[in-house]
Amino acid sequence: MPTYTVTNSNFNLNSKIKREIAKDITKTHSKVTGANTYFAQVIFTKTKKNNHFMGGKITKNPQIFLLGQIRAGRSIKVKNKLILGLRDVLIKKTKLDSSQIWVYIIDLNPSQMIEYGTILPKSGKEKQWFSKLPPNLKKKLLDLEK
């Protein structure tokens, strides 16, 4: 499951904007990688005042940082499309300038990840993984796709 942590600094994100960002991050990840939407989770945090530094100095202007942890195995072309799409989501939803937006993607080996109680499949092997899940979990995941 990709886990995207969105950290905003020196400005607020209201609940509506958070929902829109989470939905668009999920949609972007699914569209670009082909993974089901139920694999994506988005977590929001906000830095406290005077807790964000750049070059050793307190940053006072708005910044947003997106850290995505995704399963390894995707091409550079796919990852570039993903990070540019994620950047564009943040620009559109926050109205910040691109120079105020940071997007980092970290590849994780799927064999070292457990989600929904089971080790994750390699990228592209989601259908086989899904077919082995218990029926009640399949239903739960399919409900998340709606």
Alpha helices in the chain (DSSP H): 15-33, 76-94, 126-131, 135-144
Compare 115 and 52 and report the one with higher pLDDT: 52
Tens-digit pLDDT profile for residues 132-142? 999 999 999 98
pTM of the predicted model, to two decimals? 0.89
**How many distinct structural domains can be found in the chain?**
1
The whole domain housing 112 covers 3-144
Give the residue from 40, 45, 48, 93 showing the smallest Cα distance to 65.
45
Percent of the chain predicted with pLDDT > 70:
100
Q: Residue 12: its pLDDT value, please?
A: 97
CATH number of the domain bearing residue 25: 3.30.429.10
